[in-house]
Chain A
Amino acid sequence: MDLIVITDSIVGGLFIGVAAVTLYVFLGRVAGISGITWQAVALENEISANIWRWCFIGGLIMGPLLLGMLGLGSDYESLNRSPIIVLVSGVLVGVGSKIGSGCTSGHAVCGVARLSKRSIVATACFMSSGILTATTLGLLSDAS
Protein backbone atom coordinates (compact mmCIF):
# COMPACT_ATOMS: atom_id res chain seq x y z
CA MET A 1 0.00 0.00 0.00
CA ASP A 2 1.40 3.38 -0.89
CA LEU A 3 1.48 6.37 1.39
CA ILE A 4 -1.39 8.19 -0.35
CA VAL A 5 -3.74 5.24 0.18
CA ILE A 6 -2.75 5.07 3.85
CA THR A 7 -3.22 8.83 4.36
CA ASP A 8 -6.58 8.78 2.56
CA SER A 9 -7.73 5.86 4.70
CA ILE A 10 -6.70 7.65 7.90
CA VAL A 11 -8.42 10.91 6.90
CA GLY A 12 -11.54 9.08 5.65
CA GLY A 13 -11.80 7.05 8.85
CA LEU A 14 -11.53 10.21 10.97
CA PHE A 15 -14.33 11.86 8.97
CA ILE A 16 -16.57 8.83 9.46
CA GLY A 17 -15.88 8.81 13.20
CA VAL A 18 -16.55 12.53 13.55
CA ALA A 19 -19.80 12.14 11.57
CA ALA A 20 -21.04 9.40 13.91
CA VAL A 21 -20.10 11.31 17.06
CA THR A 22 -21.75 14.48 15.71
CA LEU A 23 -25.05 12.70 15.09
CA TYR A 24 -24.94 11.16 18.56
CA VAL A 25 -23.96 14.26 20.52
CA PHE A 26 -26.46 16.57 18.79
CA LEU A 27 -29.38 14.27 17.97
CA GLY A 28 -28.80 11.40 20.37
CA ARG A 29 -28.96 8.98 17.46
CA VAL A 30 -26.66 6.17 16.43
CA ALA A 31 -25.48 6.51 12.82
CA GLY A 32 -26.75 3.12 11.68
CA ILE A 33 -27.25 3.61 7.98
CA SER A 34 -29.34 0.50 7.26
CA GLY A 35 -31.77 1.44 10.04
CA ILE A 36 -31.90 5.11 9.06
CA THR A 37 -32.57 4.19 5.43
CA TRP A 38 -35.27 1.67 6.25
CA GLN A 39 -37.03 4.00 8.69
CA ALA A 40 -36.86 6.79 6.12
CA VAL A 41 -38.78 4.81 3.51
CA ALA A 42 -40.88 2.51 5.68
CA LEU A 43 -43.88 4.84 6.02
CA GLU A 44 -44.21 3.89 9.67
CA ASN A 45 -43.19 7.30 10.98
CA GLU A 46 -44.68 10.73 10.67
CA ILE A 47 -42.97 12.74 7.95
CA SER A 48 -41.72 15.28 10.47
CA ALA A 49 -39.94 12.53 12.42
CA ASN A 50 -38.16 11.43 9.27
CA ILE A 51 -36.77 14.77 8.09
CA TRP A 52 -33.45 14.30 9.86
CA ARG A 53 -33.11 10.85 8.28
CA TRP A 54 -33.60 12.21 4.77
CA CYS A 55 -31.14 15.02 5.54
CA PHE A 56 -28.56 12.47 6.67
CA ILE A 57 -29.09 10.35 3.54
CA GLY A 58 -28.91 13.49 1.38
CA GLY A 59 -25.63 14.31 3.10
CA LEU A 60 -24.23 10.86 2.33
CA ILE A 61 -24.83 11.55 -1.36
CA MET A 62 -23.70 15.19 -1.19
CA GLY A 63 -20.40 14.38 0.52
CA PRO A 64 -18.69 12.85 -2.51
CA LEU A 65 -20.22 15.54 -4.75
CA LEU A 66 -18.77 18.35 -2.62
CA LEU A 67 -15.43 16.60 -2.65
CA GLY A 68 -15.57 16.45 -6.45
CA MET A 69 -16.45 20.16 -6.65
CA LEU A 70 -13.36 20.93 -4.57
CA GLY A 71 -11.33 18.98 -7.09
CA LEU A 72 -10.60 16.27 -4.52
CA GLY A 73 -12.92 13.65 -5.97
CA SER A 74 -11.70 10.13 -6.41
CA ASP A 75 -11.31 8.48 -9.79
CA TYR A 76 -14.46 6.47 -9.18
CA GLU A 77 -15.38 4.13 -11.99
CA SER A 78 -18.41 1.90 -12.18
CA LEU A 79 -17.41 -1.72 -12.39
CA ASN A 80 -20.48 -2.45 -14.55
CA ARG A 81 -20.88 -5.80 -12.95
CA SER A 82 -23.39 -8.45 -13.81
CA PRO A 83 -26.81 -7.18 -12.65
CA ILE A 84 -27.48 -10.59 -11.10
CA ILE A 85 -24.45 -10.25 -8.79
CA VAL A 86 -25.44 -6.71 -7.80
CA LEU A 87 -29.05 -7.76 -7.23
CA VAL A 88 -28.17 -10.82 -5.15
CA SER A 89 -25.66 -8.95 -2.99
CA GLY A 90 -28.09 -6.08 -2.47
CA VAL A 91 -30.93 -8.36 -1.40
CA LEU A 92 -28.66 -10.30 0.97
CA VAL A 93 -27.34 -7.07 2.51
CA GLY A 94 -30.91 -5.80 2.96
CA VAL A 95 -32.24 -9.06 4.41
CA GLY A 96 -29.22 -9.54 6.68
CA SER A 97 -29.12 -6.00 8.05
CA LYS A 98 -32.87 -6.05 8.73
CA ILE A 99 -32.77 -9.39 10.57
CA GLY A 100 -29.48 -8.60 12.31
CA SER A 101 -30.56 -5.05 13.27
CA GLY A 102 -27.66 -3.25 11.66
CA CYS A 103 -24.80 -3.01 9.22
CA THR A 104 -21.17 -1.92 9.16
CA SER A 105 -21.95 1.58 10.42
CA GLY A 106 -24.39 0.76 13.22
CA HIS A 107 -22.70 -2.37 14.53
CA ALA A 108 -19.00 -1.92 13.70
CA VAL A 109 -18.38 1.85 13.76
CA CYS A 110 -20.89 2.77 16.49
CA GLY A 111 -21.85 -0.39 18.38
CA VAL A 112 -18.34 -1.68 18.99
CA ALA A 113 -17.34 1.77 20.26
CA ARG A 114 -20.30 1.71 22.66
CA LEU A 115 -19.01 -1.72 23.75
CA SER A 116 -22.37 -3.23 22.86
CA LYS A 117 -22.12 -6.99 23.28
CA ARG A 118 -24.57 -7.52 20.41
CA SER A 119 -22.63 -5.30 18.03
CA ILE A 120 -19.31 -6.97 18.84
CA VAL A 121 -20.84 -10.38 18.08
CA ALA A 122 -22.54 -9.09 14.90
CA THR A 123 -19.30 -7.49 13.67
CA ALA A 124 -17.37 -10.73 14.26
CA CYS A 125 -20.07 -12.66 12.37
CA PHE A 126 -20.26 -10.42 9.30
CA MET A 127 -16.51 -9.95 9.10
CA SER A 128 -16.09 -13.75 9.16
CA SER A 129 -18.81 -14.51 6.62
CA GLY A 130 -17.67 -11.60 4.43
CA ILE A 131 -14.05 -12.80 4.42
CA LEU A 132 -15.13 -16.38 3.79
CA THR A 133 -17.41 -15.37 0.92
CA ALA A 134 -15.04 -12.95 -0.83
CA THR A 135 -12.07 -15.29 -0.45
CA THR A 136 -14.02 -18.28 -1.79
CA LEU A 137 -15.33 -16.26 -4.75
CA GLY A 138 -11.81 -14.93 -5.37
CA LEU A 139 -10.30 -18.40 -5.40
CA LEU A 140 -13.09 -19.68 -7.68
CA SER A 141 -12.55 -16.88 -10.18
CA ASP A 142 -8.77 -17.43 -10.08
CA ALA A 143 -9.32 -21.10 -10.82
CA SER A 144 -11.60 -20.50 -13.76
Chain B
Amino acid sequence: MNSVMRSVVALISGCLFGTGLAVSGMVESQNVIGFLNVAGDWNGSLMIVMVMALGVTSVGFAMSTILHTPLLAESFLCPRKNTIDKRLIVGAIVFGIGWGVGGWCPGPAISSLSYGDSDAVLFVCAMLLGMWIVDRVEGRIG
Protein backbone atom coordinates (compact mmCIF):
# COMPACT_ATOMS: atom_id res chain seq x y z
CA MET B 1 0.00 0.00 0.00
CA ASN B 2 2.84 2.33 0.86
CA SER B 3 4.43 1.77 -2.53
CA VAL B 4 1.20 2.74 -4.28
CA MET B 5 0.97 5.85 -2.13
CA ARG B 6 4.59 6.68 -2.88
CA SER B 7 3.87 6.51 -6.61
CA VAL B 8 0.80 8.70 -6.24
CA VAL B 9 2.69 11.31 -4.22
CA ALA B 10 5.60 11.25 -6.69
CA LEU B 11 3.12 11.82 -9.53
CA ILE B 12 1.50 14.72 -7.67
CA SER B 13 4.88 16.22 -6.85
CA GLY B 14 5.96 15.93 -10.49
CA CYS B 15 2.68 17.52 -11.60
CA LEU B 16 3.16 20.43 -9.20
CA PHE B 17 6.74 20.87 -10.36
CA GLY B 18 5.78 20.76 -14.05
CA THR B 19 2.87 23.12 -13.45
CA GLY B 20 5.19 25.56 -11.71
CA LEU B 21 7.66 25.44 -14.59
CA ALA B 22 4.86 26.05 -17.11
CA VAL B 23 3.06 28.80 -15.16
CA SER B 24 6.29 30.69 -14.60
CA GLY B 25 7.34 30.40 -18.25
CA MET B 26 10.51 28.53 -17.31
CA VAL B 27 9.69 25.87 -19.93
CA GLU B 28 10.27 28.58 -22.51
CA SER B 29 14.01 28.69 -22.99
CA GLN B 30 13.96 32.28 -24.24
CA ASN B 31 12.90 33.39 -20.74
CA VAL B 32 15.90 31.60 -19.22
CA ILE B 33 18.27 33.02 -21.83
CA GLY B 34 16.65 36.41 -21.14
CA PHE B 35 17.79 36.08 -17.53
CA LEU B 36 21.26 34.70 -18.24
CA ASN B 37 22.06 37.23 -20.98
CA VAL B 38 22.68 40.26 -18.80
CA ALA B 39 23.66 42.44 -21.77
CA GLY B 40 20.38 41.86 -23.58
CA ASP B 41 16.76 42.74 -22.89
CA TRP B 42 16.98 41.42 -19.32
CA ASN B 43 14.16 39.24 -18.01
CA GLY B 44 14.17 38.76 -14.24
CA SER B 45 11.44 36.14 -14.01
CA LEU B 46 13.88 33.27 -13.32
CA MET B 47 15.15 35.14 -10.29
CA ILE B 48 11.64 35.59 -8.89
CA VAL B 49 10.84 31.91 -9.52
CA MET B 50 14.05 30.83 -7.81
CA VAL B 51 13.57 33.09 -4.78
CA MET B 52 9.98 31.93 -4.27
CA ALA B 53 10.87 28.25 -4.69
CA LEU B 54 13.83 28.63 -2.31
CA GLY B 55 11.63 30.38 0.24
CA VAL B 56 9.27 27.41 0.30
CA THR B 57 12.00 24.75 0.30
CA SER B 58 14.02 26.53 3.02
CA VAL B 59 11.04 26.65 5.37
CA GLY B 60 9.79 23.20 4.33
CA PHE B 61 13.12 21.42 4.76
CA ALA B 62 13.75 23.16 8.08
CA MET B 63 10.31 22.13 9.35
CA SER B 64 10.76 18.56 8.13
CA THR B 65 13.48 18.07 10.75
CA ILE B 66 10.69 17.50 13.28
CA LEU B 67 9.96 14.25 11.44
CA HIS B 68 12.09 11.23 12.32
CA THR B 69 11.23 9.50 9.08
CA PRO B 70 9.43 10.56 5.89
CA LEU B 71 5.67 9.95 5.97
CA LEU B 72 5.82 7.14 3.40
CA ALA B 73 9.39 5.86 3.52
CA GLU B 74 11.88 4.50 6.02
CA SER B 75 14.47 7.23 5.93
CA PHE B 76 15.46 10.55 4.45
CA LEU B 77 17.93 10.03 1.64
CA CYS B 78 19.97 13.18 1.30
CA PRO B 79 23.27 13.47 -0.49
CA ARG B 80 25.69 13.25 2.45
CA LYS B 81 28.88 14.16 0.66
CA ASN B 82 30.25 17.42 1.99
CA THR B 83 33.53 17.98 0.18
CA ILE B 84 34.03 20.48 -2.58
CA ASP B 85 36.02 18.71 -5.27
CA LYS B 86 37.13 19.36 -8.81
CA ARG B 87 34.35 17.15 -10.18
CA LEU B 88 31.65 19.28 -8.59
CA ILE B 89 33.11 22.53 -9.90
CA VAL B 90 33.97 21.31 -13.40
CA GLY B 91 30.62 19.55 -13.73
CA ALA B 92 28.65 22.60 -12.63
CA ILE B 93 30.59 24.88 -14.98
CA VAL B 94 29.99 22.54 -17.95
CA PHE B 95 26.33 22.28 -16.97
CA GLY B 96 26.08 26.09 -16.88
CA ILE B 97 27.63 26.42 -20.33
CA GLY B 98 25.06 24.01 -21.77
CA TRP B 99 22.31 25.87 -19.91
CA GLY B 100 23.55 29.19 -21.29
CA VAL B 101 23.67 27.85 -24.86
CA GLY B 102 20.18 26.33 -24.95
CA GLY B 103 18.29 27.92 -22.06
CA TRP B 104 17.06 24.54 -20.91
CA CYS B 105 17.96 22.54 -17.83
CA PRO B 106 16.61 19.00 -17.25
CA GLY B 107 13.26 19.89 -15.58
CA PRO B 108 11.97 22.45 -18.07
CA ALA B 109 13.20 20.33 -21.00
CA ILE B 110 11.25 17.29 -19.77
CA SER B 111 8.15 19.39 -19.10
CA SER B 112 8.43 20.88 -22.59
CA LEU B 113 7.92 17.37 -23.99
CA SER B 114 4.25 17.90 -23.17
CA TYR B 115 4.00 20.48 -25.94
CA GLY B 116 5.28 17.97 -28.48
CA ASP B 117 8.24 20.24 -29.18
CA SER B 118 10.75 18.29 -31.27
CA ASP B 119 13.55 20.52 -29.92
CA ALA B 120 12.70 19.23 -26.42
CA VAL B 121 12.79 15.61 -27.60
CA LEU B 122 16.21 16.14 -29.16
CA PHE B 123 17.46 17.99 -26.07
CA VAL B 124 16.34 15.26 -23.65
CA CYS B 125 17.91 12.53 -25.85
CA ALA B 126 21.15 14.54 -26.08
CA MET B 127 21.13 15.06 -22.30
CA LEU B 128 20.73 11.32 -21.66
CA LEU B 129 23.51 10.69 -24.17
CA GLY B 130 25.77 13.08 -22.25
CA MET B 131 25.00 11.33 -18.97
CA TRP B 132 25.59 7.95 -20.57
CA ILE B 133 28.95 9.04 -21.99
CA VAL B 134 30.13 10.14 -18.52
CA ASP B 135 28.86 6.90 -17.02
CA ARG B 136 30.70 4.80 -19.63
CA VAL B 137 33.95 6.75 -19.46
CA GLU B 138 34.01 6.67 -15.67
CA GLY B 139 33.05 3.00 -15.61
CA ARG B 140 36.08 2.28 -17.77
CA ILE B 141 38.42 4.40 -15.67
CA GLY B 142 36.98 3.50 -12.31
- B87 contacts A138, C-beta separation under 8 Å: no
- B61 contacts A21, C-beta separation under 8 Å: yes
Whether A121 touches B55, Cβ cut-off 8 Å, given contacts A29-B77, A67-B23, is no
- A89 contacts B51, C-beta separation under 8 Å: no
Whether A121 touches B88, Cβ cut-off 8 Å, given contacts A11-B24, A137-B101, is yes
A121 to B115, CA, bound (A): 33
A60 to B124, CA, bound (A): 13
Q: Which residue of B lies closest to A77 (CB)?
A: B28
- B10 contacts A12, C-beta separation under 8 Å: no
Q: Is the interface of A mostly helix, strand, loop or mixed?
A: helix
Q: Is the interface of B mostly helix, strand, loop or mixed?
A: helix
B1-60 interface with A by 8 A CB criterion: 3, 5-30, 33, 36-40, 43-46, 48-58, 60
- A16 contacts B89, C-beta separation under 8 Å: no
- Tell me, rounded to whole Å, the shortest Cβ–Cβ distance linking B121 to chain A: 9
Number of interface residues of B (CB under 8 A): 113
Q: For B105, what are the chain A residues with a Cβ–Cβ distance below 8 Å?
A: 33, 93, 97, 103-105
- Tell me, rounded to whole Å, the shortest Cβ–Cβ distance linking B61 to chain A: 5
**CB of A83 within 8 A of chain B?**
yes
Q: Which residues of A contact B (CB under 8 A)?
A: 1, 5-6, 8-31, 33-34, 37-38, 41-42, 48, 51-53, 55-68, 72-74, 76-81, 83, 85-105, 107-114, 116-118, 121-123, 125-135, 137-139, 142
In the assembled complex, 16 residue pairs joining A and B whose CB atoms fall closer than 8 Å, in A order, are A8-B23, A15-B16, A19-B16, A24-B70, A25-B70, A26-B73, A37-B128, A56-B14, A63-B16, A65-B114, A68-B114, A103-B95, A104-B107, A113-B57, A126-B96, A129-B97
